[in-house]
Structure 1
Amino acid sequence: MTPPCQRSGERRRMVDQQIEARGIRDPFVLAAMRDVPRHLFVPQPYDRDAYADAPLPIGNGQTISQPYIVALMTVLIRPASTDTVLEIGAGSGYQAAILSELVRKVITIERIEEVAALARANLAAVRADNVEIILGDGTLGYPPGAPYNGIIITAATPEIPGPLKEQLAEGGRLVAPVGDRILQELVALERHGVRFTEEHHGGVRFVPLIGRHGWED
């Protein structure tokens, strides 16, 4: 990862006021949020608001999530340095960049070619060399990389896609916004054999997950 030289004061304030103040205490996640230059993942002219407490458009009808939500979803999968994590919906690459500082490998799937190209360029710019971008239907997961210690779905799904549950490792955790196209609840699953325990972490709003096991385009 490149040194976080530019706008570092804004990142510190973002973490202090938006993330740590809301109860997130994991020191490694907080450090990653301070290190990764979020403004490089937000296209102009929205980059001036990159450290605001809000999601922002990145083009093609997609958004970069609110910083707090990125931190919360990261904490909920309980990342470890030896983990392989699957992300569904690369967006501009910011969530993958955060994960890249915390785990061994990140595989992120993006269905829109232009968005995948944006993520690829952004991740190369910050030298996130342990991230692999796959172009395809994220609801199918990516069996060649399975099983995954963590899975993050960064788009609204009517239910957790079966293939993703199957690709989750024993003891692994999956986090997703589950609901309709307007409002969802952030759900975290943990796998125990064929059984999954479930936690709920409040209401959220994401763009819809398009694919065979998601919403129709």
Structure 2
Amino acid sequence: MPDYSAARHNMVEGQVRPNKVTDHALVEAMSNIPRELFVPKASRGFAYVDEDIPVAKGRYLIEPMVIARLLQEARVKPNDIVLDLGCGTGYASAILSRMAATVVALEEDAELSARADGTLRELGVDNVVLVQGPLIEGHAKQAPYDVILIHGAVAEVPAAILEQLAEGGRLVTVVSPDGRMGQARIFQRTGKVETGRILFDAATPLLPGFEPKPVFQF
């Protein structure tokens, strides 16, 4: 099997660190987790490029810089419980496993969930709980969460998912109301109020099920 350690180092030094990513635990995780294991075998040569990589129909592994910036802005703490919504093949869950206490990895695609489970087991990750179910509903059974990552762009963040945040909890994702260029945003819960702010622009593909609602014209 090819050695991807040099490509991984170049990703961190050329894409992650230069884009204001300084969180030590995050950088350490991205420096050591083999991203190539989370993409299809035919795409492993592209695992470390600064692009979104297809992993299934309509599903992507978000480009390294964007996922790194989102996770840094989420300010993940060692005792946090995190929901990785739309975990796909499990790459972000693997990173979060080294930053948080527990990760609930939610995926509705059975094949992706199985791939994530196999890869995380191969890497010896033992604090990620894989759950299969509809993404649009989140996973209220294990709520509230200190951090929620929605792994893909959304036209809007459903209220039902925001309600799964703990007091002071943070949700990070890319919001793209028209399905085109989006903006990475962070939402935080204080009491019963969620506030949000824009972080940076990102052309992240929409997560299936979270597309813009049709507008009826007369």
TM-score by length of 1: 0.90
8 Å CA contact 1:60, 1:115 repeated in 2: no
Choose from 153, 163, 179 the match for 1:166.
Answer: 163
The alignment partner of 1:71 has SS state of helix
Task: State the AA in 1 paired with 2:12.
Answer: V
- 2:179 is matched with 181
Kindly state the Cα deviation for residue 129 of structure 1 after the two structures are TM-superposed: 1.3
- 1:115 is matched with 112
Choose from 54, 66, 69 the match for 1:69.
Answer: 66
Task: State the AA in 2 paired with 1:7.
Answer: Y
- 2:140 is matched with 143
Q: Which runs of 5+ in 2 are unaligned?
A: none
Q: Which runs of 5+ in 1 are unaligned?
A: 1-5
State the distance in 2 between where 1:102 and 1:178 align: 24
- 1:121-140 alignment, distance < 5 Å: 121-140=118-137
State the distance in 2 between where 1:162 and 1:22 align: 30
Choose from 154, 175, 190 the match for 1:192.
Answer: 190
How many percent of aligned residue pairs carry the same amino acid? 33
RMSD: 2.0
Kindly state the Cα deviation for residue 212 of structure 1 after the two structures are TM-superposed: 8.2
TM-score by length of 2: 0.90
User: Structure 1 residues 212, 56: closer, same or farther in 2, change over 3 A?
Assistant: closer
Task: State the AA in 1 paired with 2:167.
Answer: E
Task: State the AA in 2 paired with 1:208.
Answer: L
8 Å CA contact 2:60, 2:152 repeated in 1: no
Residue 203 (structure 2) pairs with residue 205 (structure 1): yes
Kindly state the Cα deviation for residue 181 of structure 1 after the two structures are TM-superposed: 2.2
Kindly state the Cα deviation for residue 167 of structure 1 after the two structures are TM-superposed: 0.8
